[in-house]
Amino acid sequence: MTKFVVLYHAPQSAQAAMDNNDPAAAAEGMKLWTDWAARAGEHLADMGAPLGNGQEITTMGDNEAKSTVGGYSILEADSLNDAVSLMNGHPHLMLPGASIEVFEALAIPGM
């Protein structure tokens, strides 16, 4: 199987969303995620984690990252279409303005 990197985008940072969530809503949200993880089953290689406090590094130095990526997961599937189908009904898409990107992790030449 091939590995796929899943990136979760949202207009609000993951840290801000967690800071503004009451414990009951957070528990309900985590239940939706664990239900999705159970449906993904053996295809979920790494549940991943929320991301925060990013830095963008360039030849000119580093600055606070402006990305809307708020988290990641790693999937294993036979094809990109199969990986994308695993995202059907994903709870992240319940957030207003949220989106998900799925990328194939390509083999490094010569490795």
Residue 109 resides in a domain: no
Identity at 69, one-letter amino acid code:
V
Residue 20 resides in a domain: yes
What pLDDT, in 10s, does the model give residues 16-34? 888 877 888 889 989 999 9
Residue 59 resides in a domain: no
Write out the DSSP string of 54-80: -EEEETTEEEE----EEEEEEEEESSH
Q: Is 91 within 8 Å of 32 (Cβ atoms)?
A: yes
Q: Quote the percentage of the chain above a pLDDT of 90.
A: 79
Residue 15 resides in a domain: yes
Residue 34 resides in a domain: yes
Q: Please give the tally of structural domains in the chain.
A: 1
pTM of the model: 0.92
DSSP assigned state of 53: S
CATH code for the domain in which residue 47 is found = 3.30.70.1060
Rounded Cα gap, residues 33 and 67, in angstroms? 22
Residue 6 resides in a domain: yes
**pLDDT confidence tier of residue 97, bands split at 50, 70 and 90:** very high
